[in-house]
Amino acid sequence: MKNTLSKHTTDVGRTMIGTIRVDVLAYTAGKDVELDARLVDADCIGSAAHVTMLAGLPLRPRIFSARAGARIVAELVRIMHRARRGAFTITLQDQDVHLAVERELTRRLGELGRKIHTGRSRNDQVAVDLRLFAKEQLLATIEEALALGAELLIQARRNRGVPMVGRTHLQPAMPSSVGLWASAYTEDLLDDIRLLKGAYDLNDQCPLGSAAGYGVPLPLDRQQVSDLLGFRRPIHNVLHAGNSRGKLESVILSALSQVMITLSRLAEDLMLFTMPEFGYFGLPPDMCTGSSIMPQKNNPDVLELVRARASRVMACAQAVMDIVKGLPSGYNRDLQETKEPFMLGLTMTRASLRIMAPLVAGLKINREALRRGFIPAVFATDHALSLVARGMPFRDAYHYVKKHLEELEGLDPAKAIALKTHVGATAGLDFAGMARQLTAERNFVSAEKRRFFKAISRLLRVPYPEEMQNAE
Ligand code: ARG
């Protein structure tokens, strides 16, 4: 049996595609054949910019005429359309999207297609593809984080006067409110968005023209390519352009990890506070899952999976850093392996943001259960501070209250939360300010999208993305 298997493996190995054993091709292409399907748009857009720049180079003879350049761009748009219909496939023979697009161009345009790879390498091609992909993904992620932040703010405003026990060490600590709890997560997300924008800024630089990592002896106009693609600037040093691959992905994944940490903690709070023993909140019934044996069950599987996926996104960030940290400078094939965790991290984070928004919007707030949580001890610190207000030194008030806990009976939670009026406390929350911050970030995303889509539409000579929006 063992012999048959190994004979079989050897036979498959000996099959050749061109000059390379098919098992070597399969091993080296890895998941690219599948993952690169998500990079077809980016690869065609990057190629369109490269060709447009080549057509303008003052070389005699010209590499392309302006007309030939336009023909190639039109063909690239056709490939994008075909990919959308599922009629463009990347084969093992292609290895990746770059060679698949070149193959298709050559099939349709002959000689012209064979010139397209002039002055570039798959190394700068994949780098630009991933940055174009990341740009759209990051903007969409920020939008989705804003949508969740807005739902949390709606709950916070609606329930600003609903008392909720504030906890430390999970033990009852001080009077708080649903408004404070919910809008804390809005602000967490606003912080995470700043990290996403930092990653976005780093991403917004064009590596194209660095070729294999050492430039080419052709007068490439790297600034023009960067402008055509709507990047802020070209990456200056061509070796750095290549070396930044993987490191950039790890920065983006680290920002995504922060988003997931926020979501995971929100999920944890919700699992706790929706337990029947608490009953503070109720989950939307249509977002709970049942049990195959226990008819009564309404399980928070969504929240548990958000918690688990936070671990997985963090593992993606770690995987990329592990791959990159030991690499010598210059391109190494190891970098290909950063693609899967990168895409996976983005997909999981975005899906988690999208599922949490309707879940938060559908939360039922149970005022009675929240009020029942107010055991008298919750008022201890507030009571001590009321003695301070009458002139007692705090430490004396502290010991007095500790000895006279019975004085805390019958205090009113609603009054207690109304008394905390300083900035950011239960009665000092600037909901309008938070709403303004959400709006400012929304405006940032729209302006960036407009700028990017305008550049790409001009480059492709068709409105992008109206006809071709990347699904997902
Ligand atoms: N699929 C490859 C990657 O993701 C493309 C670059 C291949 N370059 C090379 N020199 N073999 O890294």
* Separation CA 423–CA 460 (nearest Å): 51
Q: Which of helix, strand or coil describes residue 171?
A: strand
Place of tokens 């040093």: 237
* Separation CA 383–CA 378 (nearest Å): 10
Judge if the beta carbon of residue 126 lies within 6 A of ligand 1. yes
Q: Which CA distances in Å does 346 have to 40, 109, 248, 317, 327?
A: 17, 36, 13, 11, 24
Please give the torsion angle defined by the CA atoms of residues 270, 271, 276 and 282, in that order, rounded to the nearest 10 degrees.
40
What is the position in ligand 1's atom list of the atom closest to the CA of 333? 12
Contact 377, 284 (CB under 8 A): no
pLDDT, residue 139, reads 98
Per-residue pLDDT for the chain (472 aa), expressed as one digit of tens each? Answer: 444 444 445 566 678 888 889 999 999 999 999 999 999 999 999 999 999 999 999 999 999 999 999 999 999 999 999 999 999 999 999 999 999 999 999 999 999 999 999 999 999 999 999 999 999 999 999 999 999 999 999 999 999 999 999 999 999 999 999 999 999 999 999 999 999 999 999 999 999 999 999 999 999 999 999 999 999 999 999 999 999 999 999 999 999 999 999 999 999 999 999 999 999 999 999 999 988 888 888 899 999 999 999 999 999 999 999 999 999 999 999 999 999 999 999 999 999 999 999 999 999 999 999 999 999 999 999 999 999 999 999 999 999 999 999 999 999 999 999 999 999 999 999 999 999 999 999 999 999 999 999 999 999 999 999 865 544 3
Contact 253, 313 (CB under 8 A): yes
Strands (DSSP E) contained in 178-269 are 205-206, 233-234
Atom 7 of ligand 1 has which residue's CA nearest to it?
Answer: 122
Among the CATH numbers 2.60.40.1120, 3.30.565.10, 3.40.50.1820, 1.10.275.10, which is that of 11-118? 1.10.275.10
> Has domain 123-164+176-371+430-462 been given CATH number 1.20.200.10?
yes
What is the position in ligand 1's atom list of the atom closest to the CA of 36? 1
The residues near 386 (Cβ < 8 Å, ≥ 6 apart) are: none
pLDDT, residue 300, reads 96
Q: Residue 195 CB: number of other CB atoms within 10 A?
A: 17
Contact 177, 385 (CB under 8 A): no
The residues near 174 (Cβ < 8 Å, ≥ 6 apart) are: 166, 378, 381, 382
pLDDT, residue 197, reads 98
- Structural domain boundaries in the chain: 11-118, 123-164+176-371+430-462, 376-418
The partner residues of 234 in beta bridges, in order of sequence, read: 206
Tokens for 363, please give them: 């939360």
Judge if the beta carbon of residue 96 lies within 6 A of ligand 1. yes
Which DSSP category does 318 fall into? Answer: H
What is the position in ligand 1's atom list of the atom closest to the CA of 96? 1
pLDDT, residue 74, reads 98
pLDDT, residue 471, reads 42
Residue 229 C-beta-side C-alpha neighbours within 13 Å: 38
Tokens for 228, please give them: 């055509």
Place of tokens 């079989």: 8
Please give the torsion angle defined by the CA atoms of residues 66, 67, 68 and 71, in that order, rounded to the nearest 10 degrees.
120
Judge if the beta carbon of residue 129 lies within 6 A of ligand 1. no
* Separation CA 438–CA 145 (nearest Å): 10
Tokens for 52, please give them: 């447009």
Q: How far is the CA of 121 from the centre of ligand 1 (A)?
A: 9
Q: What is the DSSP string of 184-197?
A: HHHHHHHHHHHHHH
Judge if the beta carbon of residue 342 lies within 6 A of ligand 1. no
* 3-state percent breakdown (helix, strand, coil) of the chain, nearest 5: 65, 5, 30
Q: How far is the CA of 211 from the centre of ligand 1 (A)?
A: 12
Give the H or E element holding residue 168.
strand 163-168
Angle in degrees, CA 229, 233, 239, rounded to 5: 100
Place of tokens 């001009």: 458
Tell which residue, 362, 433, 446, 352, has the closest CA to residue 187: 433
- Terminus-to-terminus CA distance in the chain, angstroms? 45
Any idea which residues carry the catalytic annotation? 169, 291
Contact 64, 54 (CB under 8 A): yes
